[in-house]
Amino acid sequence: MKFKPYIRKVNYYETDRMSIVHHSNYIRYFEEARIYAMEQLGCDLIEMERQNMIIPVVDVYAKYHKSLGCSDEFAVYIKMTYFNGVKQKFDYEIRFTSDNSLACTGHSTHCFVNENHKPISIKRINPEIYNKFMSAVEE
C-alpha cells in the first residue's frame, strides 16, 4: 500500500533563533506522519493500546539536507519497509511542497509490546491488524 503524504506548515514555535526548524522537530514530523499512515490503514493507536498492543520506538535516524523555515509547507512521504509481526520499520522523506526539494530523510524502527513491556506477536493477538500491516509493506 502506498500511503498518502502527510502535509502541513511549520509553526513559528518549532523554529530556533536562526529562524529554521529545530532539529528535534523533524523526529516529531516523522511521528506525525507515522500516525497518519496508521490511520490510513484503519489502525487507531489509542484503541490498539487499549487492547494491550503498544508500539515503542526502538531506534530513529534523521539526515538533514535543507532547513525548513517558519511557515514553509512540507510533505512527509512514508513507507513501511519491514514488518514481521513483532517489529516494523518506516522510511521517511520530508520535502518542501513548493519545489519538492529534500529537507530530511530518515527511518524509525518500532516493536510491539504489552503493558508489561514484553514483546508480543501481532499475528497471534490481532490477525486483522497483522494483515493490514502486511498489506502496507513496500520494498
The predicted model gives 8-18 an average pLDDT of: 96
Torsion of CA 106, 112, 113, 114, to 10 degrees: 130
Q: What pLDDT shows up at residue 112?
A: 97
Q: How far apart are CA 107 and CA 30, in angstroms?
A: 8
Q: How far apart are CA 70 and CA 68, in angstroms?
A: 7
For the cut 90, the answer to whether the pLDDT of residue 1 exceeds it is no
Q: Could you read off the pLDDT of 70-119 as tens digits, one per residue?
A: 999 999 999 999 999 999 999 999 999 999 999 999 999 999 999 999 99
Active-site pick, 16, 59, 91, 99: 16
Query: Known catalytic residue: 59?
Result: no
- In the chain, pLDDT over 70 holds for what percent of residues? 100
Q: How is residue 87 written as a grid cell?
A: 517489529
- Name, in order, each residue with C-beta under 8 angstroms of 84's C-beta and a sequence gap of 6 or more: none
The predicted model gives 4-13 an average pLDDT of: 98
Q: What pLDDT shows up at residue 96?
A: 99
CA angle 135, 50, 39 (to 5 degrees): 35
Q: Could you read off the pLDDT of 36-50 as tens digits, one per residue?
A: 999 999 999 999 999
**Residue 83 burial (10 A CB sphere; 0-12, 13-18, 19+):** buried
User: How many other CB atoms sit within 10 Å of the CB of residue 113?
Assistant: 16
Where do the structural domains in the chain lie, given as residue ranges? 6-136
Please give the class, per CATH, of domain 6-136. Answer: alpha beta
Question: What pTM value is reported for the model?
Answer: 0.95
Q: What pLDDT shows up at residue 139?
A: 74
